[in-house]
Amino acid sequence: MRVLHVITDPSAGGGGRRLRSLLPHLDAECEIAVLTAAAPDASGEAVAAGVPVHRVGGRGPRAVRRLARLMRAGRYDVVHTHRYPACVYGRIAARLADVPAVVSTEHSAGEDRIGGRRAGAGVRGLYRAAEALGDVTVAVSMTVADRLARWGVPRSRIEVIPPGIDARFFRYDQRLRHEARDRLGIPRDAHVVGGVGRLEPGKRFDVLLEAVAGLDGSVLVLAGEGSARWALAERAQALGIKRRVVFAGESADVPALLSAFDVLAAPSEEEAFGTAVVEGLAAGLPVLYSCCPALEELPSLAAPGARRVPSDAGRLRAELGALAAAGPLRLPTPPAVAHYDVRRHAALTATLYERLLQEVSPAALAASAPREAPPATQRRARPGTPPAPVRPAEPETTLRRAQA
């Protein structure tokens, strides 16, 4: 089975990290098409893993034409798009190239924003029109599924497949802790508060700055890039904590940073999933979060090391202060991390691919043989009756025990 993953920028936020973690565990011959002109760090990881990366570049019709040519030449069985606007360009190109199965994963739909931009009537209309060209839209959480339905996407076309992480990759490592702190110029005995995510206003890292300003001696590390980068730097200077705030950048080694942290704080009031929170739990960190569908959709005892705190500087400061007074703490891996194991995510994704291809032509599943386009009579009508949605997988046995 040949699969082309189309993504706007694989280095941006949790969606890119999810894709990169999925590919080594997916039983398919995968390639990546990147719409941004340059994404060296993330693409470099994919190349090192043996995954071909095609830099498409461009916007609008030009990007669509380039993608369609790539898809025709690659003779892919499945096109899987990730994030807006790749989900728009990728679906249109896949139909022009007559790709048998088209899947799109929505990683970041908010109530009124998508892919970091405001989703007005025009954006929503374009999204719905492009969505109708695909076969299935995958939501990373029930929260996202509900948002898509409110946007006008039919429930019958939405399936929920939670993303996964490789917990072993984020396991605490004291050597990495010391190396990361030395590299960033942070004393080894300092109390370090960490934030991971796109530096955009909606992430509310400004609240985290204000909370840390009231904690003498604590250092704040922000890993990510975005439009709010300079505003956050100016706010740190105005609060008098410029020397206690480190901007680690998008290309930072997240596992090493998590080992360097003493607590992970996520003050965002709206999230699609909450990848950073789950990664923090995998690293054994105490986690303070304001919104995280990944945990809110599981039993309450699935993540005992995570505490929900309003996105309020005073409340957050109090919680961080208590953790600082308690000293460095590493917690056992909670059941929530096992529930979001990347292998489970890969298995659910592969099952979806196979089901869609079976609906087109059983012969398309013979990955070892060259694919021939099935006769038009064997293809599903487009638009046609959508496939029945897959129910979200039940939590693991460990989660059911925790709930009991």
| Most trustworthy range by pLDDT among 35-49, 338-352, 355-369 | 338-352
Q: Kindly report the average pLDDT of the chain as a whole number.
A: 86
Output the pLDDT for position 253. 85
On the question of pLDDT at 107 being above 90, the answer is no
Please state the rounded mean pLDDT for residues 380-393.
43
Please state the rounded mean pLDDT for residues 78-99.
94
* Per-residue confidence band for 397, with pLDDT thresholds at 50, 70 and 90: very low
Please state the rounded mean pLDDT for residues 36-65.
72
Q: Are 260 and 184 in contact (CB under 8 A)?
A: yes
The span from the CA of 155 to the CA of 112, in Å, is 19
Please state the rounded mean pLDDT for residues 382-397.
43
Comparing 40-49, 92-101, 195-204, 331-340, the range with the smallest average pLDDT is 40-49
CA 363 centroid distance within chain: 33
Backbone angles phi, psi at 44, to 5 degrees: -60, -40
* Per-residue confidence band for 390, with pLDDT thresholds at 50, 70 and 90: very low
Q: Are 258 and 170 in contact (CB under 8 A)?
A: yes
Residue ranges of domains in the chain: 2-164+341-382, 167-339
Question: What is the chain's percent helix, strand, coil content, to nearest 5?
Answer: 45, 15, 40
The span from the CA of 266 to the CA of 272, in Å, is 13
2-164+341-382, which class in CATH? Answer: alpha beta
Please state the rounded mean pLDDT for residues 301-315.
97
On the question of pLDDT at 402 being above 70, the answer is no
Please state the rounded mean pLDDT for residues 306-316.
97
Q: Which CATH architecture has domain 167-339?
A: 3-Layer(aba) Sandwich (3.40)
The span from the CA of 23 to the CA of 304, in Å, is 30
Comparing 41-55, 62-76, 129-143, 306-320, the range with the smallest average pLDDT is 41-55
Comparing 5-19, 194-208, 228-242, the range with the smallest average pLDDT is 5-19
On the question of pLDDT at 269 being above 90, the answer is yes
Output the pLDDT for position 341. 96
* Per-residue confidence band for 20, with pLDDT thresholds at 50, 70 and 90: confident
